[in-house]
Chains A and B, each alone.
Chain A
Amino acid sequence: MALPVAFFAAFFAYPVAAIVARGLKVDGAWQFGRIAEVVSQPDIRHVLWFTTWQALASTALTLLIALPAAYVFARFDFPGKQVLRAVVTVPFVLPTVVAGTAFLALLGRGGLLDEMWGVRLDTTVWAILLAHVFFNYAVVVRTVGGLWSQLDPRQEEAARVLGASRFAAWRKVTLPALAPAVAAASLMVFLFTFTSFGIVQILGGPAYSTLEVEIYRQTSQIFDLSTAAVLTLVQFAAVGAILAVHAWTVRRRETALRLVDAASTTHRPRGSGQRALLGGVLLTIAALILLPLGVLVQRSFKGPDGYGFTYFRALTSADGGAFLVPPIDAVGNSLQYALAATAIAVLVGGLAAAALTRRAGRFVRGFDALLMLPLGVSAVTVGFGFLIALDEPPLDLRASWILVPLAQALVGVPFVVRTMLPVLRAVDERLREAAAVLGASPWRVWREVDLPMVRRALLVAAGFAFAVSLGEFGATVFIARPDNPTLPVAVARLLGRAGELNYGQAMALSTILMVVCAVSLLLLERVRTVSTASTGEF
């Protein structure tokens, strides 16, 4: 318990406190008036309004498109289902930068739609919304579909026998059981889109800016740290409120439902209606998820003189001028940082999860919620906080390479905790007692009882932490040094420069990043399919 608490105190609470002090303390005196002052500026109000409504719209759109898929994945049996389930999860672990780039290749200037029909959607809000759906599709399919597949269909049948119509049975029996999962998924989607950074940064253009993007702009372009700090506080409050509601719905979700083995509830689609539904869902997945990724790969190979490895080759030289080093070096940097971040995240998150399992009470619940904060409290805040807090003794890490993995680990820890906690909680305490009575010391109990049961979850958690660290953009962009860029930072920098070569290189680098992420996810999926139910909520 001590290590996770210390970790969060030093690398989360302290930087956040530093931001607050920076924003609200003028000449040593607290100036709370600054908050009202900043929030009342018209352009800031516009940012707040846009942030909120685009998040609401994204959430609604995601639910609309993903709920049928949740049903299809929960109840239908069809060839290739496992692979497809993995495929729809790929976007969730993809770096936002890659998603942004992929949609740019599809909808942007010179993109596929532009070439074919002259349609451009970048710099419109539609590009942002579609990219958000792309991203969060899996959240809904997994959270809602996971529960749906375990709901006992006989409950609905019981209602039918008692005289309810098919729709009434669904509405009275299934929907109420599903509602907490839908609420939890919606809140997660709302949270992710509310704090969206990479996608809005790349697709939004100058017209659209979320709070997160505005904080970044205020810090790195306008250098108005005080306004940025106030905006951070506003976002902090909003995220805190969302998380509180989320924690509440999660507790509601834990109310006893009669769950059955998911394998027993599926069947082949029957009749034209069900086949049409399946077809529609498959088409949506093709258009929304496979197409952007496909176009991204295609663009990375399509140079000015036909298909080839021109852009990939260009990545190996520093001549492009965007960097001090060849962009391909970013691959090595990213992998090293991500490995270090994974190690930290698994250590801190694993210890936190173990501590949370063994104790109960209000303090623990509070810590549980606190662990979720970095997930929602915007990577930009974390990066910004690191920048202003960790640059002087006692914690001067400015020059140390560990700064980047630390920030990435902070984002990875919630995933590790979320994945490990349900599994650890599922280990029956009396199983540990049985081992102890048979002569196992506490350490051996952990090795002989806990470890075999959580090994799988630990792997999955490490994989998620790795993928998340690899794609982390918001915090890293603040603190990665110019001569040591990570992949997402390099992509963003290439996109920010004019010229076809830079654009092509960005596409090529994104493709590499996508492949690394997709491969690590597919490996995870293999580990996970053996026991789907026992590995947390992501």
Chain B
Amino acid sequence: MPPVSTSTEATAVSGAAQALLRLEGATVRFGARAALDSVDLDVAEHEIVCVLGPSGSGKSTLLRVVAGLQELDSGRVFLDGRDQSGVAAHRRGVGLMFQDHQLFPQRDVGGNVAFGLRMHGASRAEQDVRVEDLLELVGLPGASRRTVAALSGGEQQRVALARALAPRPRLLMLDEPLGQLDRSLRERLVVELRELFTELGTTVLAVTHDQGEAFALSDRVVVMRDGRIAQSGTPLEVWQNPVDEFVARFLGFDNVVEATVGTGSADTPWGKVPVPGGTPQGDCKLLVRPAGVRLVPAREGLVCTVAARTFRGTHVAVHLQPRDAPPRLEAACALRDAPEPGAEVGVAFDAQEIVVLR
């Protein structure tokens, strides 16, 4: 079958030119449910990509497929342009940091970090040097002889990272890397990780359900839903222009409404709302960012009652109930401008903060 294989290799070679990792039509089914539904994804060398999605969206399965821990029902995985079908997990040369770290309990910190090196036949001296280097790198110098059980959650996370980095994997994958840590530690570590990966030039594929983590860590965000990729782009692109209602709501935007676009504005349950120029006419959904909901005197706009206020640190989220009972609105207000619950206000919309969804 030479002709067939030639065409396959052609794709493989062309893929290798841009992508360290390439998934083509990757599909995994658990019974009738597709955990991965023909996913195509490229990760370039030195790129940090974060897969973002709610639990059950198939993001962990994606990592397991790349690592060789989960077989594909159809589709292919390429690493460096080479088809990985039939290549066992221990021969793929990728690193995977598990959600709950999975440190080997019967080995000390050094033994854990050295594990991958030993498996690759590194000498004792090489191992010792590299273990010390890595522990230094992750901020745990001299911790080599400590037992795993004596580590705090953050320290375990660092050891797991050092262990995954030790054999110099061509691709490092992180499964909810900071998921179990508390908030302040998480915010600090995510910055550290980003600096570290940029410095080392590591290619990273991470998955998380936390948008803050994804935006802070990655060059590119891939949002997944029900085993499919819903949107892919830089954190800024995704944040500014969510493609559909699912992505918008997943990012925490709740002002989504049905709309019929006419010329220059759209009809919605909230009345006429301005839309960006060039929006095609017809039925669609609109997202109004909270920052685009301006509070005005009651007679000058859509009349609403303030239902509740939530203090958000830098601003106050004001929940508004329009008088004629269409869906609620959320507005972002400066602290001193926020009206009291029960107050009657008017609402006007800012065209720049409105996104047309699919």
Q: Which residues of A contact B (CB under 8 A)?
A: 428, 430-431, 433-442, 444-445, 448-449, 452-453
Contact = CB atoms under 8 A, between A and B. Distances in A.
A453 B106 contact: yes
A438 B102 contact: no
Contacts of B119: 435, 438-440, 444
B106 A437 contact: no
Interface in B98-145: 98, 100, 102, 104-106, 115-116, 119-120
Contacts of B94: 437
B48 interface: no
A431 B102 contact: yes
B90 A439 contact: yes
Contact of B167 (A428, A438, A448): A438
A29 to B, nearest CB: 49
12 contacts: A430-B98, A433-B67, A434-B98, A434-B102, A434-B104, A436-B89, A437-B67, A437-B95, A437-B96, A438-B116, A439-B167, A444-B119
Max chain B Cβ within 10 angstroms of own Cβ: one of A430, A449, A452: A430
Contacts of B98: 430, 433-434
B104 A433 contact: no
Interface in B177-200: none
A437 B115 contact: no
Nearest to A453: B106
Contacts of B89: 433, 436-437
Contacts of B343: none
Interface residues of B, number: 25
Given A430-B98, A448-B115, A439 B106 contact: no
B232 to A, nearest CB: 25
B185 to A, nearest CB: 22
Given A438-B164, A449-B104, 7 more contacts: A428-B102, A437-B67, A438-B115, A438-B119, A439-B120, A440-B90, A452-B106
B90 A431 contact: no
B59 interface: no
Contacts, number: 64
B289 interface: no
Contacts of B298: none
Contacts of B92: 437
A445 B90 CA distance: 10
A449 B90 CA distance: 14
B69 interface: yes
A430 B116 contact: no
A453 B89 CA distance: 22
B69 A433 contact: yes
A430 to B, nearest CB: 5
B225 interface: no
B104 A437 contact: no
Nearest to B107: A452
B163 interface: yes
A431 B107 CA distance: 12
Contacts of B67: 433, 437
Contacts of A440: 90, 115, 119
A436 B104 contact: no
Contacts of B105: 453
Nearest to B119: A439
Top 9 A-B pairs, shortest CB-CB distance: A439-B119, A438-B116, A436-B89, A434-B102, A437-B96, A452-B106, A436-B90, A440-B119, A439-B90
A434 B120 contact: no
Max chain A Cβ within 10 angstroms of own Cβ: one of B68, B95, B116: B116
Contacts of A438: 90, 95, 115-116, 119, 163-164, 167
Contacts of B88: 436, 441-442
Contacts of A452: 106
Max chain A Cβ within 10 angstroms of own Cβ: one of B68, B91, B106, B167: B106
B248 to A, nearest CB: 34
Contact of A434 (B96, B106, B167): B96
Contacts of B69: 433, 436-437
Nearest to A452: B106
Max chain B Cβ within 10 angstroms of own Cβ: one of A436, A449, A453: A436
B162 to A, nearest CB: 12
A425 to B, nearest CB: 16
Contacts of A442: 88, 90
Contacts of A453: 105-106
A428 B102 CA distance: 8
A209 B53 CA distance: 69
A453 B105 CA distance: 9
Contacts of B115: 435, 438, 440, 448
